[in-house]
Structure 1
């Protein structure tokens, strides 16, 4: 004699059929196994009862007048969060089994009047209930992971927001110090320091306003950075024109910081040394894709520097640029044919960052 598994004790089964006598037989047999059976006369009655909820599993007959089981199965699957369905038919036809399983049935058994049917029905119910429990547990776990990730992202955005504000405060303090500093070389050092702070602050500002906190879209970042550098230069009385043209290339935060610092240093160098004192000129920042990688270009139409001459000043900016370039697995290239200065570096594009950015966007 078949014993009911512990997982089925107290379960409610909705049995949909057009044979009340067989329905009562199912009800009496399964009641002895601890399963409560509710009989529904036909598909419409069954769907209506299911809409009220409270069932753990459904057994659905195939051959019924009016609506066949497959049509009823489709209506059941369309209900919000339907229970699993065990498909029942008196015909041992493979096409019916395949159609039922494709339509979303959890299992398929052949009806007969012998004891084997009830054993099979019990086994199918157990399997369907177990699979449903696993599915619900999996969905609950995934939902918890999503909620935890959302909370973590919210906290990280808040951190980036606070860091950006703190860096802005530091930048303001540097600006105040610069305003009361009369010595030209000291003022120049403070200007460069402020540009480096700006490059890093822009990263955190972009992160807390971006849908993806793991990567920075370099087109928006570079535009914001150049706007801030241009505003700072205008405040110093500089008349240079800064332009940026950048493709949408997402980069991990650490690499974006390196690239931003490089851009800030090269732009500051161009402003300081490319054109004669008191004369304005154009400085262009360009970021493009190039054969599976990316290329950053900073160029001007000024006096020209090929990278092999001694550095004008302390050389700190050059050392910073080379250090940042190494973190991008790259190095500086100088275009000797360009009439002014044209510096570029080619670096690999992070495929994982691009995929994550597409998913977030």
Structure 2
């Protein structure tokens, strides 16, 4: 049976309440004043407490404040003979779960027992809700840790794969094969960069594109630069966050466009610059990659295998993006898509 502490200065009512509520399924202990009642509560073992309002010394509101200061206070039903609304409001504001007006007869004990049951049920629901929330948070934490570990492993695997491609590139004799393998290596690096970002981020659903594309631009600059033909890859970005799959698509587009600019915009014996800009133009974002070369002839036959161009179009389609090949002294390719 639920254990209830009933605090009331009326000895006769305490005894009567104990008897009547025991018939209604409750085990009742009593206390004569606020101090002795709170001292008994500190010993623990009670599921609920009922407090009378008018008591000598400290009132029921004083006792309610003392109970609220306990480490794990039980629910409190406030009992009084007063029908003043202000008393009920004050008790509920102070933390009481319910309010019962003291009357003469069995109806009072029926009402008191009903209030006890409702308070206990409410407390059980709150406890179940808290337990479910704690379990959900623990589950989410475990899932986040597993996802971060998965991203770490994927990034490492892609790094190993990139190393295999590099070994293969050094073993082939054909310049065309070497170029194709180097392009493949850069595509792998673009994807691996995303997984490295996810591993080091608390947000595993989206990617900060500035944090992602800046190291990617630095890697591309190091890859395509030689002492005779240095390639400067500059990067400027607004604060833009994209979902992981969209970030990968955009990273591959950047990799292909920068690679094309480094290979075809400048002669093998001259320096050159490629500029990457990512701007937020709500509700869209706009990526532009530009160089100072001869520009893009859309009607001409691809200088390479054409795989890069097909990849750019495929990634743009996955983003639902528009491709714009600008005209000017150099090439300027813009990709516009929804955030």
TM-score, scaled relative to structure 2: 0.91
Q: 1:14 maps to which residue?
A: 5
| Maintained 8 Å contact 1:203/1:221 | yes
| Maintained 8 Å contact 1:86/1:109 | yes
1:87 aligns to 2:78 (yes or no): yes
**Structure 1: gaps of 5 or more residues:** 1-9, 350-361
1:125 aligns to 2:120 (yes or no): no
Distance in 2 of aligned mates of 1:339 and 1:79 = 77
Alpha carbons of structure 1 residues 235 and 203: separation in structure 2 relative to 1, 3 Å: farther
| Alignment map for 1:201-220 (pairs within 5 Å) | 201-220=192-211
Distance in 2 of aligned mates of 1:224 and 1:317 = 21
| Maintained 8 Å contact 1:322/1:331 | no
1:325 aligns to 2:316 (yes or no): yes
CA-CA distance at 1:149 after TM superposition: 2.2
Distance in 1 of aligned mates of 2:173 and 2:301 = 27
Distance in 2 of aligned mates of 1:334 and 1:67 = 83
CA-CA distance at 1:60 after TM superposition: 2.0
Q: 2:337 maps to which residue?
A: 347
Equivalent position SS for 2:77: strand
Alpha carbons of structure 1 residues 163 and 87: separation in structure 2 relative to 1, 3 Å: same
Distance in 1 of aligned mates of 2:15 and 2:217 = 79
TM-score, scaled relative to structure 1: 0.86
For residues 95-132 of structure 1, give each alpha carbon's deviation from its aligned partner in whole angstroms, at most 9, with x where no partner exists.
32233333332211101232222111100001111111
Q: 1:29 maps to which residue?
A: 20
Equivalences, count: 339
| Maintained 8 Å contact 1:306/1:341 | no
Alpha carbons of structure 1 residues 137 and 342: separation in structure 2 relative to 1, 3 Å: same
1:177 aligns to 2:168 (yes or no): yes
Equivalent position SS for 1:332: strand
Distance in 2 of aligned mates of 1:237 and 1:250 = 37
Distance in 2 of aligned mates of 1:27 and 1:342 = 87
Aligned with residue 291 of structure 2, among 296, 300, 303: 300
CA-CA distance at 1:236 after TM superposition: 8.6
Alpha carbons of structure 1 residues 77 and 284: separation in structure 2 relative to 1, 3 Å: farther
CA-CA distance at 1:71 after TM superposition: 4.2
1:255 aligns to 2:232 (yes or no): no
